[in-house]
Amino acid sequence: MKNLTLFLVTLLFLMTSCGNENTPKAEQQIITYQKQVVAINKKIDRIQQKINKKNKNKESTSGRKITVNIRKLQPTVFNHYFDASAEIESVHEAYISPEVSGQIDKIFVKEGDRVKKGQLLAQLNSDIMQDNIRELKTSLEMASYTYKKQKSLWAKNIGSELQYLQAKTNFESLQNKLKTLQTQYKRSFIKSPIDGYVDVIDLKVGEMAIPGQRFFHVVNLSRLYVNSQISEAYLPIIHEGDAVEVRFPAFPSIVLHKKVYRIGKVINKQSRTFKLQLKIQNPKQLLKPNLLAIIRIKDYTNPKAIVVPSFIIREDIQGDYLYVVTTEDGRKVARKRYVKTGKSFKKSTEIISGLKMGEYIITQGYNNVTNGSVLNIRK
> Which residue from 92, 70, 63 is spatially nearest to 282, judged by alpha carbons?
92
Q: How confident is the model at residue 10 (pLDDT cuts 50, 70, 90)?
A: low
Distance CA 86, CA 228 (A): 4
- Whole-angstrom Cα distance, residue 297 to residue 84? 8
Bridge partner residues of 139 (DSSP)? none
pLDDT digits (tens, 9 = 90+) for 164-200: 788 888 888 888 888 888 888 899 999 999 999 999 9
CA–CA–CA angle 123, 129, 134 (5° rounding): 125
CA distance 319 to 338: 7
CATH 3.40.50.1820 correct for 95-209: no
Q: Using 50, 70 and 90 to split pLDDT, how confident is the model at 23? A: low
Residue 288 CA to its chain's centroid (Å) = 16
Fold of 82-91+219-300: Elongation Factor Tu (Ef-tu); domain 3 (2.40.30)
Q: Do 61 and 153 form a contact (C-beta atoms < 8 A)?
A: no
Alpha carbons 101 and 249: distance in angstroms, whole number: 44
Q: pLDDT class for 55, splitting at 50, 70, 90? A: low
Q: Where is pLDDT greater, at 5 or 299?
A: 299
What's residue 301's pLDDT? Answer: 93
**Over the chain, what is the mean pLDDT?**
87
Kindly state the DSSP code that residue 195 receives in the 8-state scheme. Answer: S
User: What is d(CA 45, CA 372) in angstroms, rounded to the nearest whole number?
Assistant: 10
pLDDT single digits (tens) 322-379 = 999 999 988 999 999 999 999 999 999 999 999 999 999 999 999 999 999 999 998 7
User: 82-91+219-300 and 95-209: same fold?
Assistant: no
d(CA 131, CA 61): 116
Domain boundaries, the chain: 1-61, 82-91+219-300, 95-209
pTM: 0.68
Q: Average pLDDT, stretch 106-111? A: 96
